[in-house]
Amino acid sequence: MAQTGAGPRTWLVLGDKRGDNGQVEAVAAGLPWPWERRQVQMQPQWVYGKPPVRPSLDHIDREKSDPLEPPWPDLVISAGMRNEPVCRWIRAQSGGRTRIVHIGRPWASPERFDLVVTTPQYRLAEHPRVLQNSVTLHRVSAARLAAAARTWEPEFAELPGPRIAVILGGNSGPYTLGPKTAAQIARRVNRMAEQRGGSLLVSTSARTPARALRAFEQQISVPCFLYRWRPDDAANPYFGMLALGDELVVTADSISMLSEACATGKPVYMAPLGGYGYPMQAGGGAEVDFRFTALTYSWLMRFGPRRLSRDIRLVHARLLSEGRAAWLGEEFRPTTASGPSDIERAVERVRGLLRLT
């Protein structure tokens, strides 16, 4: 959206991670004023590296990035450590006037920002400028689900109900989605659909290993629609599955996918992955597929600084305590939630920064 009309001048500073950008745009979509996107591209040596935390543009490719020039914004919203120095540089150019909202885990101290919107896995200490949400921000809405349902109902019409949507993630930190784990999850969801006389709607993601998917497929005997993720696919049925699945099963490695599933208000079951030293589900007995980088990540969690790792089990615990999800194989016991949603709380805090109601 271009900056037109009245309201604080707002920039969304976006990088190369779709998940981060999606959270930034989720907040912007709730604001009652216009905003502009500012896409920045990293120089090759900083695509994976951590740039200095000081205000700077030294790590971005100025020619390939959108212009960063006056008039400077009243507000910037961003996510990701590589965008932090950019936002702080913008504030410096404005003479300190620009407010900064950072989503996720910042590398600089919270005092360097006006608001940090985060989730439990980053283990940030309580702070007046930190908003602790249960799940990540997202763009799932009743309108979007209704539109997806209209689009995909003809495709799924012949599959018997109840339909169980299964969203497969991939390797994450100390956890691995390998053939053993994938086969175990497949047997559980196949039995779940079989007992209900229903079917499966299965989608992979960008991180789903091919070996894991093959092992998963070999265990499925019930009617099943399977989508293999493809980049930039306009025919991706993901939101259709969220809309038309009567129950949702999500591998518990992906907090963003769990967040989107929980936003539907349907029963959500978390499928645990096997890991080293930090089991997702206590006593859950998830199969463990060997992956060396998973083992080293578990060492990092045990011996390294907390800021260099995250513990997604803290999000699982929050979802279980709030009655928003259950472990696969256990009973789903929802609670009646009240009060504003995570996205509503974030938007209200942003509005408060600019003294608007």
pLDDT digits (tens, 9 = 90+) for 38-48: 999 998 877 76
Closest CA to 288 of 102, 296, 280: 280
pLDDT of residue 10: 97
Instruction: Point out the least confidently predicted range of 58-72, 74-88, 281-295.
Output: 281-295
Residues 6+ apart with CB under 8 A from 50: 81, 82, 107
pLDDT band at 357 (very low <50, low <70, confident <90, very high): very low
Mean pLDDT value of segment 53-59: 85
Mean pLDDT value of segment 120-133: 88
Residues 6+ apart with CB under 8 A from 4: 34
Q: CA-based angle 245:249:251, to the nearest 5?
A: 140
Q: How much of the chain, in percent, has pLDDT values that exceed 70?
A: 95
pLDDT of residue 222: 98
pLDDT of residue 136: 84
What is the b/e burial string over 128-137, where b = at least 16 CB atoms within 10 angstroms of the residue's CB? ebbbbbbbbb
Token duo for residue 54? 């000081």
- Classify residue 298 by its DSSP letter: H
pLDDT band at 338 (very low <50, low <70, confident <90, very high): low
pLDDT band at 336 (very low <50, low <70, confident <90, very high): low
pLDDT of residue 2: 43
pLDDT digit string (tens) for 128-150?
A: 999 998 888 887 888 999 999 99
- Phi and psi (nearest 5°) for 268? -120, 130
pLDDT digit string (tens) for 252-265?
A: 999 889 999 999 99
